[in-house]
Structure 1
Amino acid sequence: MDWYALQNGSDIRGVAMVADGVPATAVNLTPDVMRRLGLAFVRWLARSLDREPAALTVSVGRDSRISGPLLMSALMQGMAAGGVRVLDFGMASTPAMFMSTVTPGFACDGAVMLTASHLPSHRNGCKFFTAAGGFDREDVTELLRLAQGDDLPSADAPGMIAAADFMTVYTAQLVERIRDGAAHPLHPDQPLRGLRIVVDAGNGAGGFFADQVLEPLGADTAGSQFLEPDGRFPNHVPNPEHPEAMASLRRAVLGHRADLGIIFDPDVDRAAAVDARGHEINRNRLVALAAAMVLREHPGSTIVTDSITSDGLTDFIQRDLGGVHHRFRRGYRNVINEALRLNAQGQACWLAIETSGHAALRENHFLDDGAYLMAMLLIELARARAEGRDLGALIAGLREPAESREHRLAVTAADFSAYGNAVIDALRVRAAEEPGWAVVPDTHEGVRVACSAPEESGWFLLRLSLHDPVMPLNIESEVAGGVDRITERLQAFLADFDGLDLAALGRGA
């Protein structure tokens, strides 16, 4: 077995069950694999903390995937066989698993969440935490090295596995954060009284937000949908970025005349929203709103985002809000680690956020927590209503592109990494020679090009996926037809690379 094929950046992801179009031989996340991963995590944790396994407590939770119960049982059995005490949280969220390592009364030494985020239902995976934060790429690589080796722990007496309720503790923290932040003068315990808020959990683990967070705060949650956990995800793709998912939420908000709609991915570390007028608050708009809230409390803060954010967002953060916009590499761990690095160097950074909906705030352990981000939006909504203004007023100055598009170009060359980097290097040289094009410095990944010709008026970014033989190409323009015109110029250049499949670019490719 190729253990390292399970690595997906700072997570583990694999095929957990046979599904339509998936051969049985492709299943690589089996109960036996999970048991060994559990033993490997015990070895890693005991060595990292310099403590005996018998002195350690580890928590485990899962999202709604069908494969979850069996794989979680195997993982916990492996951990217990290594000698640690295991707390079974059952259905949980990824942010809650981290919070179990820093919450008094639990303070687990480590935590594991079984999830594959928004991926199809036959996939599953793991996210690992200690009180210091989530695993980095290097930690996952080491864990897999241990899992495939012969030096796995074997305790004389296995550790205990016990069920524990942490979600009640975690949701109480969210409720208190909203109460404190909203500071309603008349209804301090129910600052959301009179507001209708629709939740779409996408049949993942996020249904708790309606009855355990919103309703105790006085909100009317009528119209909420897909709250029941169902690991087949039968109603829509459980991804706050997906147009189908956002359209479903928009219909629910408008149909029930709600003040806000909230949508989560299956493990609740990502979220997005729809306002009362049906306007989507995701991608650049979500980043802008989060930045506006943070910069009001922390003037001048740096906002770290991923590389594909728009030029209009930069202007909004820097000119309108007085902050600093710092683009960095895609990947939620990348933006979080960059924020940590900047703070360590003395450059104040209170928010790290991806356009995908991963948002981590300094006030919340730099944990990417979709429920916490939505709690911040709810505080703002309650304040806005009390002041007689609209939630969207905070981002009224955001300039949005007329058009935006993402293409994913397949790399057919055998060494996709070397080939993709060669394409990027060649494009960087070519773009510097093209009239109206200018290479944007310090993009940290790929090549970003500003297109200043009036008929293009936009930018594009070509980068290389870290894990897959794909080159994502993002293009934005502030004029109608600008994306097509930029694409046509790019096609003429990219056509010389026979190791690229340009079919995704559409006509002329």
Structure 2
Amino acid sequence: MSRPAAAVNRVIKAYDVRGLVGEEIDEEFVADVGGAFARLVRDEARPGASDGRERDDAGRVSRVVIGYDMRGSSPSLAAAFAEGVVAQGLNVTRIGLASTDQLYFASGLLDCPGAMFTASHNPATYNGIKLCRAGAKPVGKDTGLTTISDEVIHGVPGFDGAPGTIEDRDVLADYGAFLRSLVDISGLRPLRVAVDAGNGMGGHTTPAVLGVLAPITLLPLFFELDGSFPNHEANPLDPANLVDLQRHVVDTGADIGLAFDGDADRCFVVDELGHPVSPSAVTALVAARELGREIGATVIHNLITSRAVPELIAERGGTAVRSRVGHSYIKALMAESGAIFGGEHSAHYYFRDFWGADSGMLAALHVLAALGEQNRPLSELMADYQRYEGSGEINFTVADAPGCVDAVLKFYGSRIQSMDHLDGVTVDLGDGTWFNLRTSNTEPLLRLNVEARSAEGVAAVVDDVAAQIAALSEKAT
């Protein structure tokens, strides 16, 4: 059946499929997406890329792996997608409840495409699909989602051959063992680890990955899987959603706190004092560890991570490569450059040894290993990687984003030392002070990130930029 283009394009976005359940996304819709995805990957031959278990004699894909999160709508949507896939002649392996990085693991392990049903940190009324090719390679707008949306709009063609089959496979223990094999945890001292799963998939994966480590005492918070998110949003990027973990760390005397988002592919860290640790500092720490085992390797960082990240990479003998914001850009650069690691300000961490995909749990293992192999508290350890003060991401709702950017640049004028337009505009004001302004692709927002050597320096730039945006907005009204 054909569908209105506007309705389809509203749900099939640049990086994934996401929409309101029952209004924008339902079983019939995702069955069509499943069929279109199967057609996309079915004829993509990669001869010699696997042992043939998941491919036919010509090397073509013959299987898709499917996982889903704890949202109430996820099982039925995943089942409908599976029916769409098998109707196109491909087999399906269902891994059931999973984190997104667990699905990536299954895609890498089985060398087959995958589909993860999740809306990540979005409210309970939403759901969606993250799609990948074999080996966890991302599927985005320019690498397949446009083809899928076109077929869903015009009607997915039928398949004349025999339908595929569906099987179930539990990969949770294998996923945990694989992650632990990538990090040297042999010198781990006893640690009390507080974990806020936010009622998301971290409550499913944390016991399987960390709970089996004898030196670790888990102090769980909101591990009950509940897609209605009864305690707080599963979005640790919002400081309001870290408050419970911060209190839990202090109350329990934990050595460290970890917070995962809804599909548990991002991990945020809190130190023993209850203070949040910058994802840039985590990026720097993991980069240092990875460069310690492969001197001279390449490390990716996006353009709004702290300047401390490329500084440290250079000091450790690595090559820093700067990227636009967004997982599709990071993953493309990971593949192109052979980078050993990549990190983003949003707490997405990418690993070459994890098929170039992101895993918050693997990043958490690195932080735990770094903490547990020495005796300093986490606050002192992370001070080695925190060289500057940052604003975090500040959003302004604006009607004229380009006009606001022009007003800010005009205000700073000759004080600008250098400037580039890799993603929005990044302005260097000298003496360690810089800011980035970029527009949102999906909302009428202008996003600001500022870094300086002092909190006062950050506040001064934030105040100046906010004043220019406010003045232009007042003039417009």
Q: Give the alignment's TM-score, normalised by structure 1.
A: 0.81
Out of 247, 250, 260, which is 1:251 matched to? Answer: 247
Contact kept? 1:97, 1:129, Cα under 8 Å: no
Alignment of 1:24-423 (within 5 A): 27-49=23-45, 56-103=62-109, 107=110, 109-132=112-135, 133-138=137-142, 139-178=144-183, 181-184=184-187, 194-319=190-315, 321-343=316-338, 349-384=339-374, 388-391=375-378, 395-402=382-389, 404-412=391-399, 420-421=401-402
Contact kept? 2:284, 2:308, Cα under 8 Å: no
Give the aligned CA root-mean-square deviation in angstroms. 3.0
Name the residue aligned to 2:419: 440
Distance 1:422 1:41, change over 3 A: same
Return the alpha-carbon distance in structure 1 between the equivalents of residues 457 and 372 of structure 2.
39
Paired amino acid for 1:459: W
Name the residue aligned to 2:51: none
> Offset of 1:421 from its aligned partner?
5.0
> Offset of 1:95 from its aligned partner?
1.5
Distance 1:398 1:214, change over 3 A: closer
SS at match of 1:440: strand
Paired amino acid for 1:99: F
Q: What are the superposed Cα offsets for residues 325-351 of structure 1, whole Å, 9 maximum, x if unpaired?
A: 3332111221221232233xxxxx321
Contact kept? 2:418, 2:429, Cα under 8 Å: no
Q: What are the superposed Cα offsets for residues 199-258 of structure 1, whole Å, 9 maximum, x if unpaired?
A: 221111121334222232214444211111100111122123221232222222222222
Contact kept? 1:299, 1:322, Cα under 8 Å: yes
Whether 2:449 is the aligned partner of 1:474: answer yes
Name the residue aligned to 1:20: none
Return the alpha-carbon distance in structure 2 between the equivalents of residues 487 and 174 of structure 1.
40
Contact kept? 2:87, 2:159, Cα under 8 Å: yes
Return the alpha-carbon distance in structure 1 between the equivalents of residues 433 and 73 of structure 2.
44
Name the residue aligned to 1:430: 410
Contact kept? 1:54, 1:85, Cα under 8 Å: no
Q: Give the alignment's TM-score, normalised by structure 2.
A: 0.87
SS at match of 1:463: strand
Which deviates the most, 353-362 or 275-284? 275-284
Contact kept? 1:300, 1:323, Cα under 8 Å: yes
Q: What are the superposed Cα offsets for residues 39-60 of structure 1, whole Å, 9 maximum, x if unpaired?
A: 1111111132388899711111
Paired amino acid for 1:449: V
SS at match of 2:347: coil
Distance 1:39 1:291, change over 3 A: same
Contact kept? 2:280, 2:343, Cα under 8 Å: no
Distance 1:243 1:467, change over 3 A: same
Q: What are the superposed Cα offsets for residues 378-397 of structure 1, whole Å, 9 maximum, x if unpaired?
A: 3323322xxx4445555433
Paired amino acid for 2:140: D
Distance 1:403 1:163, change over 3 A: closer
SS at match of 1:48: coil
Return the alpha-carbon distance in structure 2 between the equivalents of residues 98 and 312 of structure 1.
30
Distance 1:177 1:403, change over 3 A: closer
Contact kept? 2:256, 2:378, Cα under 8 Å: no
Distance 1:270 1:146, change over 3 A: same
Return the alpha-carbon distance in structure 2 between the equivalents of residues 501 and 299 of structure 1.
54
SS at match of 1:129: strand
Contact kept? 2:44, 2:61, Cα under 8 Å: no
Unaligned runs of 5+ in 1: 18-26, 185-190, 344-348, 414-419, 503-509
Distance 1:469 1:486, change over 3 A: same
Distance 1:207 1:489, change over 3 A: closer
Return the alpha-carbon distance in structure 2 between the equivalents of residues 55 and 403 of structure 1.
46
Identity, % of aligned positions: 28
Return the alpha-carbon distance in structure 2 between the equivalents of residues 123 and 434 of structure 1.
44
> Offset of 1:498 from its aligned partner?
5.5
Distance 1:275 1:490, change over 3 A: closer
Return the alpha-carbon distance in structure 2 between the equivalents of residues 253 and 489 of structure 1.
36
